Structure 1
Amino acid sequence: MELLFLGTGAGMPSKQRNTSSMIVNLSAEQGGYWMFDCGEATQHQLLRTSIKPRKINKIFITHLHGDHIFGLPGFLGSRSFLGGEDELIIYGPVGIKEWITTTLRLTKTHLTYPLKIVEIEEGVIFEDDQFIVSTQELQHVIQCFGFRIEQKPLPGKLLVDRALESGVPKGPLLKKLKDGEDVELADGRIVYSRDVTGEPQNGFTVAVLGDTKYCSAAVELAEEADILIHEATFDIETGDLAKEYGHSTIGDAARTANEANVKALIANHISARFMPADIGILQEQGKAVFPNVHIAEDFSHFEWKNEQLIKK
């Protein structure tokens, strides 16, 4: 699983940071590419990556503020122009369907692919054989959600020597056993997957939060997560402004990470008041509360591998 940040700014674009958008790359897990928020000019940011719009199969919208959704109409249209044919599903708060359908209708934008829009409530909003996505409402100035992505347990490692000793020939039957299927041998014996595989391995958990003040829902969504992605619009000195505008400081983000017992925190949604020279200070403020803090920049690229967060 990889994370690619397309926009890490707050409120409006700046020279250093575009508005909010991030890609969770699940292609290695055969899950596709999931986008979280789609601020203005997100498709321009995509042009600087290797990801094609047609490859994105899910978009999750945290809330309806412009810096999180104004890039959607252009992206949806360009996905058609660039050969998109597969279904795209958008998950977001009540109102997202009306906004998208009205915009497409008034601009006479024709899509070449099926578009499904799901207006969400708290709880599980998506589940398949590999993943569960659940959501809770956070505390912002309008309705805003955070998302928890949980990968289901993975099959245990195939004990090849044990399988061969059981009479399983090399070839496709070994793969079936590795995938958790029992197999029948030519002599009629059944070899059970559980007997020739190790213990199931834990999948990863990522919490992606929208704009929010510090709140218990954020801690619950992030509980024991491997990675927490949390806004940090303000520094500790401007905490009063954070509360007034329904946002968090880097200290709030670190507090949430600490209380949720996550492995790594990635802070984003950084105010334009902070210049590149200030980012080290933000990071130090966060590390004073939670040691494993990363401050995302536009095009920051992370990989979760061997239960560690690696910046690429």
Structure 2
Amino acid sequence: MAEIYTLGAGTPTPTPTRFGSSHVLKLGDQLLMFDCGPATTHKLVKAGLFPTQVDYLFFTHHHFDHDIDYPCFLLCRWDQSIGKENQLQVFGPDLTEKITEGILGENGLFAHDWKARVNHPLSQQVFVNRGGTLPRPAPSVAAQDVGPGRVFSGSDWEVTAAPAEHVQPWLDSLAYRVDSAEGSVIFTGDTQPCDSVTELARGADMMLCMCWDDQAVMDANGEYTGQCGTTGAARMAQAAGVKKLVLVHVGPHLSGHGPMEQGIGDISRIYDGEIVFSEELMHISL
């Protein structure tokens, strides 16, 4: 059974129950992570998963609420490994390679950490006690800048990307579709309603779509460009014919009771599929 774990269901605004974006798709024994926002590594463990189990990471874009925990995840996954794990493969729009090298490269911002752990006898002993064999290897991550089209094919699944309209030209943004024997799921990242994401999502079993706020509020305060609100998400899901709409990247106002129930009602008048209002650490069967 395929399952989606919602690790981060919020926005750049920290709240006691939501902060940033990250999701994991579990296909059999394979874990595919989409974005790596605030505290993702900790939330991953709270969800009953572990960093060394994640072999694939896909970034929708490089706003901090989608990638700020990347250094923590990279270092934790490497530190907890014993040299027998699969190499982590990372995909994302422009800057993915640069950021990865800037974190873990020979002269990266965290090179002091991994070099100390590779060379100090205490760290070497901890590595051996975990089951590793010296010499302890330096981190090795396969990071790749990607664009629209087929991104990667696994044993029985495939990831395809399409442009998502968010904050271009300052940052590139992608939405992803995963097709597998278990079904199809869309990770929109941050986007306004647009034809490219609608076409990517055509006929999918599930779409995780950002839902910043009540659409009327966004229209009134000028925050309607570059992102989906309630009825924007509903119209895109309905046009794509997706079977289940999971609302993620939910802002503090819409997260409160009252606006939440009104938002779900507004969406249900446009979209006739199943609606899930996500909470952090929720996992949903595909």
Mark yes or no: TM-score above 0.5. Answer: yes
Corresponding residue SS for 2:178: strand
Aligned to 2:265: 284
> Per-residue deviation at 1:83?
2.2
| TM-score with structure 1 setting the length | 0.76
1:211 to 190, 212, 215: 190
Aligned to 2:133: none
Matched, 1:255 2:253: no
2:281 to 299, 306, 309: 299
Aligned to 1:266: 246
After superposition, residues 1-312 of structure 1 pair within 5 angstroms as 1-26=2-27, 28=28, 30=29, 32-83=30-81, 85-104=85-104, 105-108=108-111, 109-110=113-114, 113-141=139-167, 142-152=171-181, 203-240=182-219, 241-244=222-225, 246-277=226-257, 278-291=259-272, 292-304=274-286
Q: Is the 2:215–2:224 Cα contact (8 Å) retained in structure 1?
A: no
> Per-residue deviation at 1:132?
1.5
* Higher Rg of the two aligned structures: 1
1 or 2 for the larger relative contact order (CA 8 Å, sep ≥6)? Answer: 2
* Divergent runs of 4+, >4 A: none
Q: Which runs of 5+ in 2 are unaligned?
A: 115-136
| TM-score with structure 2 setting the length | 0.83
Corresponding residue SS for 2:239: helix
User: What do you get for the CA RMSD once the two structures are aligned?
Assistant: 1.6
Corresponding residue SS for 1:242: coil
In structure 1, C-alpha distance between the alignment counterparts of 2:179 and 2:59, rounded to whole Å: 18
What is the aligned residue count?
250
Aligned to 2:130: none
- Superposed CA deviations along residues 183-214 of structure 1, whole A, max 9, x for unmatched, are xxxxxxxxxxxxxxxxxxxx511111110111
Q: Is the 2:103–2:109 Cα contact (8 Å) retained in structure 1?
A: yes
In structure 2, C-alpha distance between the alignment counterparts of 1:261 and 1:243, rounded to whole Å: 23
Q: Is the 1:88–1:113 Cα contact (8 Å) retained in structure 2?
A: no
* Cα pair distance change 1:3/1:114, threshold 3 Å: same
Q: Which runs of 5+ in 1 are unaligned?
A: 153-202, 305-312
Letter in 1 for 2:151: I
In structure 2, C-alpha distance between the alignment counterparts of 1:275 and 1:55, rounded to whole Å: 31
Letter in 2 for 1:286: I
